[in-house]
């Protein structure tokens, strides 16, 4: 260290140049980022993950070069030369050298910590999760953007606070980066997520389970396949409930499922859709075991045992996708995106959406062609006078497709089951099917009014 001249060698020089260039670039981009000038998520990978690596490599090359140089110089000389260098601050050259080294080291520490901080922050951003591995996370990222949690970052649910989850996520993240680079990941990405953090540590950071929600009024619209797209509706008072005995209000789905009772189940398929065994421990400590007819102890032993939590019902809280083309078109019509009074629009939109397309781009074209063709040939008058409505119907149908179907990821309508409800997927009826019984014949009830009142 004493002899600054030791760094006058090719390796150290290369290190210095590498470190300086990456430090300058990094500081520039960091400032730009601080003032909000950069938006491309891919730049982030280069600037916040790769540049710092170059910077550190550069820094390491400097002492490496010096050390090799020292070895070279001492080769063949007297061993005493290999003693620790003598360091003398009275020598002006050495003093300057020490000062330079100290200042540069401090600057380097600042840069490396900034880089580490920004790199971690960047890896936790929605951009990184949702866009960098573009095609891979596209279904979830697209659905997420207009879900109820679009201001909650991916990592708030998928990783959550704490060092151990951070480390685990980085380990599995590294595996995922390999899977993406080698193109070995599965399409679609399987759900449920194994080892997702327990709901208590995720959802309950923001939602207090004992909060009383009362009834939620849910109005469901349907449209027929006739010329008038005849509308019909069902109104459900869903008894969401919740609360606690302490506060005096304790009823409904949340109270029974989440507050009063501890429920465990065994699922025998990997999507947790087949649940032949349920164990209930109520708040007085009474235990009840329900088994589905015909299941064998052997099947149960092979299944996955799990304590039921928020995500067993709310398994698509953030990236919901429509279960069927019909339902997706119904809600686009109910929201007025697809004009309700365009003849046969419900039937035609569903038909166009259900065709098979190799890519989203091909779907855009196919949907547009099919729907335009229908009105042009069958409803010339409408096609001439209400061109704008036809165009709006086409655009909305395309949006429905692009929001729910991702051919490149093998994601179709209904690929991911939603466990809230029971019409399109087993959902609540995985257990509430009157077929799960205790030894004394008690059933998990399918009585419609326990969960909602239909008007």
Stated length of the chain:
455
CA–CA dist 25, 21 (Å, integer): 6
CA–CA dist 193, 110 (Å, integer): 38
Q: Does 129 bind ligand HEC (CB under 6 A)?
A: yes
Cβ atoms < 10 Å from Cβ of 440:
6
Taking CB under 6 A as the criterion, which residues in 344-363 touch ligand HEC?
A: none
Residue where the block lists tokens 């710092």: 52
* Contact letters for ligand HEC, residues 150-179 (x by CB under 6 A): --x-x-xxx---------------------
Which residues sit opposite 219 in a β-bridge? 235
Choice between 15 and 426, CB closer to ligand HEC: 426
Which residues are CB-contacts of 240 (< 8 A; sequence separation ≥ 6)?
213, 214, 215, 216, 252, 253, 254
Taking CB under 6 A as the criterion, which residues in 99-118 touch ligand HEC?
A: none
Taking CB under 6 A as the criterion, which residues in 235-254 touch ligand HEC?
A: 236, 238, 240, 253-254
Applying CB under 6 A, the span of 30-38, 78-86, 125-133, 352-360 interacting with ligand HEC comes to 125-133
| # of chain residues touching ligand HEC (CB under 6 A) | 76
> Are the beta carbons of 172 and 185 closer than 8 angstroms?
no
Residue from 74, 113, 234, 378 touching ligand HEC (CB under 6 A): that is 234
> Are the beta carbons of 232 and 224 closer than 8 angstroms?
yes
Question: Measuring CA to CA, which residue among 362, 358, 353 is closest to residue 329?
Answer: 353
Residue 391, H or E segment = helix 387-404
Q: Does 263 bind ligand HEC (CB under 6 A)?
A: yes
Question: Measuring CA to CA, which residue among 286, 280, 264, 304 is closest to residue 445?
Answer: 280
Q: Does 132 bind ligand HEC (CB under 6 A)?
A: no
Residue from 311, 332, 371, 394 touching ligand HEC (CB under 6 A): that is 311
Applying CB under 6 A, the span of 3-11, 35-43, 331-339, 438-446 interacting with ligand HEC comes to 438-446
Q: Does 18 bind ligand HEC (CB under 6 A)?
A: no
Q: Does 197 bind ligand HEC (CB under 6 A)?
A: no
At its nearest, how many Å lie between ligand HEC and the CB of residue 246? 17
Which residues are CB-contacts of 146 (< 8 A; sequence separation ≥ 6)?
403
Taking CB under 6 A as the criterion, which residues in 391-430 touch ligand HEC?
A: 416, 420-423, 427-428, 430
């Amino acid at each position: 260290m004493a002899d600054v001249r030791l760094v006058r060698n090719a390796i150290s020089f290369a290190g210095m140049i590498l470190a300086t260039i990456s430090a300058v670039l990094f500081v520039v981009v960091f400032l730009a980022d601080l003032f909000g000038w950069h938006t491309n998520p891919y730049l982030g990978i280069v600037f916040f993950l790769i540049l710092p690596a170059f910077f550190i490599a550069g820094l390491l090359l400097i002492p490496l070069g010096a050390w090799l140089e020292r070895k070279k110089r001492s080769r063949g000389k007297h061993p005493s030369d290999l003693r620790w260098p003598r360091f003398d601050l009275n020598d002006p050259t050495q003093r300057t050298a020490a000062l330079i080294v100290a200042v540069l080291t401090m600057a380097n520490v600042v840069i490396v910590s900034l880089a580490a901080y920004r790199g971690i922050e960047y890896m936790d951003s929605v951009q990184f999760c949702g866009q960098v591995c573009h095609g891979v996370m596209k279904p979830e990222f697209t659905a997420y953007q207009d879900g109820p949690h679009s201001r909650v970052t991916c990592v708030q649910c998928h990783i959550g606070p704490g060092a151990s989850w951070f480390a685990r996520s980085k380990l599995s993240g590294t595996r995922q980066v390999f899977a993406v680079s080698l193109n070995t990941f599965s399409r679609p990405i399987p759900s449920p997520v194994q080892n997702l953090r327990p709901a208590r540590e995720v959802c309950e950071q923001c939602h207090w389970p004992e909060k009383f929600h009362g009834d939620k009024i849910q109005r469901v619209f349907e449209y027929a396949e006739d010329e008038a797209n005849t509308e019909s509706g069902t109104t459900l008072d869903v008894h969401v409930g919740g609360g606690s005995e302490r506060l005096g209000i304790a009823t409904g789905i949340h109270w029974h499922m989440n507050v009063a009772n501890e429920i465990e189940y065994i699922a025998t398929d990997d999507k947790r859709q087949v649940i032949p065994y349920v164990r209930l421990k109520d708040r007085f400590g009474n235990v009840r075991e329900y088994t589905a007819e015909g299941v064998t102890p052997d099947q149960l032993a092979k299944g996955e045992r799990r304590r039921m939590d928020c995500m067993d019902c709310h398994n698509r809280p953030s990236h919901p996708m429509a279960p069927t083309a019909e339902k997706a078109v119904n809600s686009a019509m109910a929201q007025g995106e697809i004009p309700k009074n365009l003849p046969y629009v419900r039937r035609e939109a569903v038909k166009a959406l259900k065709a098979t397309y190799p890519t989203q781009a091909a779907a855009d074209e196919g949907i547009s062609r099919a729907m335009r063709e229908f009105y042009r040939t069958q409803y010339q008058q409408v096609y001439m006078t209400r061109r704008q409505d036809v165009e709006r119907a086409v655009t909305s149908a395309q949006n429905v497709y692009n929001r729910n179907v991702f051919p490149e990821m093998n994601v179709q309508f209904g690929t991911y089951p939603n466990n809230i409800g029971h019409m399109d997927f087993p959902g609540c009826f995985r257990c509430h099917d009157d077929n799960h019984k205790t030894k004394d014949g008690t059933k998990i009830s399918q009585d419609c009014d326990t969960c909602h009142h239909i008007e």
